[in-house]
Chains A and B, each alone.
Chain A
Amino acid sequence: MPSLIQLAEVKKTYHMGDVDVHALRGVDMTIDAGEFVAVMGSSGSGKSTLMNIIGCLDRPTSGQYLLDGREVSRMSRDQLADIRNHTLGFVFQSFNLLTRTSAVENVELPLLYQGIGTKERVRRSREALERVGLGSRLDHHPSQLSGGQQQRVAIARAIVGKPKVILADEPTGNLDSRTSVEVMALFQQLGRDGITVVLVTHEPDIAEYAARVIVMRDGHVTSDTRHTPKDAATAMREMPAEEASP
């Protein structure tokens, strides 16, 4: 069975005026189904560009990208939208929830573009919110939720379309340490359920929760290591109570 994500000699060059910026200088990488991968690197290392390409938001300048066995690097905008809709889920640092819109309605957004009927949409959105532990806050608006809760709504939105891969770009960047661990526990749970998680972070203690850490530098992969991840659920129990999130 081929790997879920296969990158071969992927290059990305941006033209900034007269200067060519080589964001990726030839990346080879394979990620299998169910893996929990952390991509690390300083800013300018090319990790965001890599994420955009894996997330089908951008196309490589050259090279091959097979996602779930399909060559996506030359697909049209509409085809990429379909791939993002069905195969991928996104979690962002700044949550990117629609304001003045209830949790359920935020979560159902990907289903809307899949053309799923209202009843089914609401049922699946509730289910996803229950899965992230927000079953009691279905009708809350983002402004009525804490940062950790907002990120969990965003995760529910990412999983509601039953994707194969979840791409998380600095998902804990705006969260305190306890809620960060809570979010990591959720990702680990998703990994156990068979969803591949690719996480971009610059915090080493967050990367510890991933089973595989890829380090990027100047558009190259400089290291790719596997280790036994720290268990977020255990870490949470060990945390002092007074640090508990509101």
Chain B
Amino acid sequence: MSVFHTLRVALRALMRNKMRSFLTTLGMIIGVCAVIFSVAVGEGAKAKVEEAFASMGSNLLIVLPGSNTSGGARGGSGSQPTLTWDDMRAIQNELSTVKYVAPVLRSQSQVMSEDQNWSTSVQGTSSEYFAIRSWPVAAGVTIQQSDIESGAKVCVLGQTVVDKLFGASSDPVGQMVRIKNIPFQVIGVLAKKGQSPMGQDYDDGVFVPYTTFGAKIQGGLKNYIAGMLMVGAASPDDTSRAEAQITNLLRDRHHITGADDDFFIRNLTELANSQQEGTKTMTTLLNAIAAISLVVGGIGIMNIMLVSVTERTREIGLRMAVGAKPRNILMQFLVEAVTLSTMGGLVGLSLGVLGAKVIAQSFGWNTLVRPDVVVAAIAFSGFVGVGFGLYPAYKASRLDPIDALRYE
């Protein structure tokens, strides 16, 4: 008996009890739907987290000055400026894994345009900062090397600051703003960047050359950096090595032999990884539900197949009488079970994809339906059909034709 014909007989048998077949496949439908859905949502959430951390800066390390200890009380990180400008240049020049280094000096200051004012974070930095954070300008230019060398009174504005001081959709490039009453010329406006993973508005900031910052806004610690360093590693794989290299370099330069470093390094790639652990937990939970549902669905199929074998005992007897071998009967019921489970898998797949699309639209996520997951889900549902259909099919194939023909 050909495979095609076996399939046709199976389909016909299933179509005879449409409602029953549908209810039987429900377990498979829910199971496969949950698998597709959970993977899609999990991948979507992962992509979202990755995107958020990428917006903070690619391959980002932050080097913070260390703490001081006075009279037994230890200050927090950054309480004592320990990083020097020479340290910065050493990191920049001596380390192979480091691509960019930029200082970040911060001060909350009142910024004024001709008719508006706004309190915002004024940050002294260099042009590398924008490279590390892959943050282009929407208009004008960023801070130039010449600005840093000359200590020019120029600034680059974040989009939120532009909105507050000049109004939306205005072009402030070339205009003047006053920071701490000192006039600065606007040389550029940054592209909109949005929020940090913690909800902080990246666009609410004004950037000036760090030399100007030290001279005009927050006064001089000549050799020490009164802020932090942002370091961009050459590649994502280099962040850990860069962290180790910077640690060794700074310990060497600061003559530290004991345990307590006088600086801190934050590795944001690791932070991103730990965030993704949370997503993984959720995906694992959904997958567990899906697995349970698939097993329950399989048991449902087994149950209905046993009922079907009993109902069709006379048919089995007749088929045997006219020449069906045990293996023909086995195949017939096995194909029926696999058809049931695979149909359930296909319906579940469609519903899962649909559900993922709906979630994607309503939450603005990039839910991804991975083709390998689709193939795995269909294969697994077929496997469930074989696994749970085998016993009823075997039972049918072992029937005695005489008893089966006489069965009422």
Contacts and interface: CB of A to CB of B under 8 A. Distances in A.
Interface of A: 52, 55, 57-58, 77-78, 81-82, 84-86, 90, 92, 96, 98, 100-101, 109-110, 112-115, 157, 161
B95 interface: no
B251 to A, nearest CB: 81
25 contacts: A52-B402, A57-B401, A77-B325, A78-B325, A78-B326, A82-B323, A84-B322, A85-B322, A90-B322, A96-B317, A96-B318, A96-B321, A96-B405, A98-B315, A98-B318, A109-B318, A109-B319, A109-B322, A110-B322, A113-B1, A113-B319, A113-B325, A113-B328, A115-B1, A161-B322
Interface string B305-329: 0000000001101111111111110
B14 to A, nearest CB: 13
A52 B405 CA distance: 11
Given A52-B402, A58-B402, A113-B1, A81 B323 contact: yes
Interface residues of B, number: 22
Contact of B326 (A55, A77, A92): A77
A90 B325 contact: no
A91 to B, nearest CB: 10
Contacts of B314: 96
B326 A112 contact: no
A77 B324 CA distance: 10
B405 A113 contact: no
B222 interface: no
A46 to B, nearest CB: 14
A104 B270 CA distance: 71
Contacts of A82: 323, 325
Nearest to A90: B321
Contacts of A57: 321, 401-402, 405
Contacts of B405: 57, 92, 96
Interface in B1-23: 1-2, 5, 12, 16
B315 A84 contact: no
A102 to B, nearest CB: 11
B323 A161 contact: yes
Contacts of A109: 318-319, 322
Nearest to A113: B323
Interface of B: 1-2, 5, 12, 16, 314-315, 317-328, 401-402, 405
A86 B321 contact: no
B333 to A, nearest CB: 15
Contacts of A55: 321
B322 A113 contact: yes
Nearest to A96: B318
A157 B1 contact: no
Interface centre among A52, A90, A96, A100 (most CB of B within 10 A): A96
B201 to A, nearest CB: 69
Contacts of A115: 1-2
Contact of B323 (A58, A92, A101, A114): A114
A85 B323 contact: yes
A70 to B, nearest CB: 16
Contacts of A157: 322
Contacts of B323: 81-82, 84-86, 110, 113-114, 161
A115 B3 CA distance: 11
A78 B328 CA distance: 10
A100 B318 contact: no
B5 A112 contact: yes
A58 B16 CA distance: 32
